[in-house]
Structure 1
Amino acid sequence: MEFVILAVVIALVAVGAISGLVISSRKKKQLPPSAPPTAPTITAPPAEPHVGDEAETPREEPRRTIEEVGLPPADEAAAPVAVEEPVAAEPAAPEIEVPEPTEGRLVRLRARLSRSQNSLGKGLLTLLSREHLDEDTWDEIEETLLVADVGVAPTQELVERLRERVKVLGTRTPDGLRALLREELLALIGTDLDRAVKTESGLDTPGVIMVVGVNGTGKTTTTGKLARVLVADGRSVVLGAADTFRAAAADQLQTWGERVGARTVRGPEGGDPASIAFDAVKEGIAEGADVVLIDTAGRLHTKTGLMDELGKVKRVVEKHGPLDEVLLVLDATTGQNGLVQARVFAEVVDITGIVLTKLDGTAKGGIVVAVQRELGVPVKLVGLGEGADDLAPFEPEAFVDALIGD
């Protein structure tokens, strides 16, 4: 009986095992094999060493008292070393330039002048060379002169003289006409006027020159170039930057002065121009300079208040002595509008000379005649370019030769 029960138990165990194998095999067929998910590996940071972990076990050492500690000999003690503070290097002084000699400058710049004035001289010669000089031709000659800004009255004078000379002399050859035109133009411009820039006061004070003009005529640049002209002629110069309304004017003038070794007296932006002009003359006297050049602010001729201030500058400067020159800077390209400017300035300050800038950039060279007639003062300097030495003393002969060519 016991044997039968044991056999039944063994049979049941065998059937259970076989059923488990069958079910396991079916599950493997139904599900594709896949790798079991891998759990992320977490790496623990290294443990921080605790205080004293790496410390050695203190050892008992004999200790000395302060009396037992010996000091090093005095000669072995390190002497204190003085550390010098770095000294900033001073900026190198600007190199002093040697300006080009002024004598004959206009002759050297003749080609530049003749290119811009070619239409005036060549136009007149072409018209005068016609076989028949009828009324229409003379009208064309007159028109050519007016377009060149010679002015109405000087134009009429020149045309009448040319009519008479051609009729009486009967000059018809090209060389004869050129000589005739040259002679009449020189008479119109004037060869007997004193065109020298006055730099001597006759007293123990420097010659004082004030430069005036409206905005945009190149007044500050002209003042700097004039300093080069005076230095080239052997004069020592002090510059006064009395144009305090334009921020860069004083810097610009100082740069011009440094190039030729001339000192610039300046003040704060927006300061009193008359005060700066006064100080410039005072410094010029103290230094024994030959000339003091004062650059004033560019005044708009329509603003009466600013023009009155220009008169104040003149009065303050004259407390040291009389002004030797008041040069009016005019832009030759403005033509007849320059005459309006000239009239207003002449009413405020006594103009003694004219500087015509940008004369190489216009065909209206007749403004030389017109402005001299308007003010009764000579053109003393002309600007013929952007170069530092392109400001030249005005020479009537060289100017007329450039007009009519060879």
Structure 2
Amino acid sequence: MNHPRTPHPDVTVVGIGADGWGGLGGAARAVLGAAEVVVGGARQLALLPKDACRGERVAWPSPLRPAVPELIAAHAGRRIAVLASGDPMFYGIGRTLTEVLGTPLRVLPHPSSVAYACARLGWSVEETEVVTAVGRPLARVAAALHRGRRLLVLSAGAGTPAEVAALLCDRGFGPSRMWVLDQLGSEDEQCRDGVAEAWDEPAHDALNVVAVDCRRAPGALRLGAVPGLPDAAYEHDGQLTKRHVRAATLGALAPAPGELLWDIGGGSGSIAVEWMRTHPSCRAFSVERDPVRADRIRRNAERLGVPGLGVVLGGAPGALGQLPPPDAVFIGGGLTAPGLLDACWDALPVGGRLVANTVTLESEALLAECYRRHGGDLVRLAVAHAVPVGTFTGWRQAMPVTQWAVAKAGPAPLNTSPGDDR
């Protein structure tokens, strides 16, 4: 059985709320009272009474993360208390300290703003989705918008509530009800509510949380939680993996939390976007050599709630050398580019997945040879749509797509032929 490592002997992280010293328990007060150095934000340090906390006060510099090792080293051998808002391990400094110092810490958590907000609203924490806008793009909220869902947005400042309301209206969720909870846990706590499309509240206290009861506007495009979003969800110039093929492709890629995708020949970015929408921790890079399409990919990612999608402007395989190793690779264009398949295959770890789609005979022959040598699944995807034929209805066949999907079982190269069908 593995046991937790011994916490750092000199550093204790103490969570503190808007109620300040009065809201702290005995253990937290004892740590702060005995600390020789207290590190925290200026607002947090101001909450401590000078007579009870006599240690040296050090405000975090900006940027914070690069300064952590030097700051802790400068006070080595002294008892250090680090102040954090609420629960230090929930989007807090506790995680940063643990990652940078490479050791666990003693942590004394305080109720988080999420716990307070759910308590005030009567919402169950486990059924409420949380999105933080602190140091992250607010556009991430868009990926969490589904009718009937409840969201909490951790605000980046006083202007966040109005920005949330504008985003809801832009994404077809203007009828959603909103609450803004200021200074949770303090004597100055306030709660104001309204509807996003009619939101006209002035700027709130910088320390606020926005709660949203999601309601989709009539006629707004429905975006589900699984791959295969409507084609109309994307801005595109025709270079788009269509909905039904996209769903099959994501099924073959099989994204899992925390995994990284290379999307080569991004086009409109739909594969990478929907890979990232499967879980907030999924990551992706879309490689696209056309600058107009690269900008379009960025806009699609922003609108559909995954602004963290990395867009690499350049051709493959040349542009792949700068990327971190992938867990999966999708090739949607340029299959016969010299060295492309070899580079992708070599970059994959054992167990990594490669999925390639094509509509040309030349690339289809290449995939058939890859299938013969490496196995996997070789399928042809054909979709037909009902369309008017005079006063009747008939089928219009879309161009069939040949797809090869394989999980890497070993390091053998593909040794493919040169050429370019893109």
TM-score (norm 2): 0.29
TM-score (norm 1): 0.30
Higher relative contact order (CA 8 A, sep 6+): 1
Which is strand-richer, 1 or 2?
2
Which is helix-richer, 1 or 2?
1
Greater C-alpha radius of gyration: 1
